[in-house]
Amino acid sequence: MSTQLPAQPPQPVLPAPRKPLARAWMLTALLGLAALALWVDLPLAQLLHSETTPSIDDLFEDIGDMADTTLFVVGALAVYGGALWRMRHDRLGRWLGIAYERWVRGSLLVLATMTLGGLVTLVLKQVVARARPEVFFEQGFYGLGLPFSGDPFNSFPSSHTLTAFAVAAALAKLAPALRWPLFLFAAAVGLSRLVNLDHYLSDVVMAAGVAIASAGWLAPRVLDSRYQWPVRLPWHWGRKG
């Protein structure tokens, strides 16, 4: 007489760990940046230096000036403060379905992305201490200086590009239908930093990556309605619940 063992319940399929994938992406990104710095950055800068006319230079200077960090910060703060006040006091607006909370969360995401990305950019600028293209064209030096040397050894990454891509990436989380125009604007700002010989290509690519990664990490923590701290007054952000 044979004894039949009871059927084993199916084992759940566990998702693959993300850490190896994240490390692979990071390694790929670092190798890509190194390849740009070794074989692309300087030849591209030399090409732009020889081919860019004064009128083109002035045009892209104006484009780069659109990524004014102060302008975006002041604008986002005005939207955040106004929407937060209206959300707390405008009962009629809430009854009519005016999305004050979305404005609060959205403007806060823009500010948080610019802040986080800006801090990362600031640290990298000081630690890497990469010479700007002007140093090469004036002194023939292409490379790194001593950490914390300051201008002009602060090329990597590009702050203007960081600002443009931080705003674009944050707003794209709020309005996905507008992501292509937003990123086109950010790419134009990044291109302006190359044409004006303020940065190398890897400086621009790194800044864009930092901005997009910052927005991606912050978005669920700011936009998800399960998190209530964004719709509180700032001095109550640490309150539980």
Q: How far is CA 165 from the centre of its chain?
A: 5
Closest by CA position to 187, among listed 208, 171, 170? 208
**CA-derived radius of gyration, the chain:** 23
Q: What is the pTM of this model?
A: 0.90
Q: In whole angstroms, what is the distance from residue 173 CA to residue 221 CA?
A: 12
Q: What CATH number labels 36-48+57-67+110-231? A: 1.20.144.10
Q: In whole angstroms, what is the distance from residue 223 CA to residue 165 CA?
A: 18
Cα angle at 214 between 180 and 161, to 5 degrees?
Answer: 60
Is the pLDDT at 213 greater than 60? The verdict is yes
Q: In whole angstroms, what is the distance from residue 135 CA to residue 26 CA?
A: 29
pLDDT in tens, 12-39: 554 555 677 778 888 999 999 999 999 9
Q: In whole angstroms, what is the distance from residue 15 CA to residue 1 CA?
A: 42
pLDDT of residue 14: 47
- Looking at the chain, the whole-number percentage of residues with pLDDT higher than 90 is 80
pLDDT in tens, 174-191: 999 999 999 999 999 999
DSSP code string of 215-231 = HHHHHHHHH-TT--GGG
> Are 102 and 174 contacting, i.e. CB atoms less than 8 angstroms apart?
yes
Is the pLDDT at 5 greater than 60? The verdict is no
pLDDT of residue 95: 45
pLDDT in tens, 85-107: 988 887 655 544 568 899 999 99
> Are 172 and 183 contacting, i.e. CB atoms less than 8 angstroms apart?
yes
Is the pLDDT at 211 greater than 70? The verdict is yes
> Are 197 and 108 contacting, i.e. CB atoms less than 8 angstroms apart?
no
Q: Where are the domains of the chain?
A: 36-48+57-67+110-231
Helix count and strand count (H, E) for the chain? 10, 0
> By three-state DSSP, how is residue 190 classified?
helix
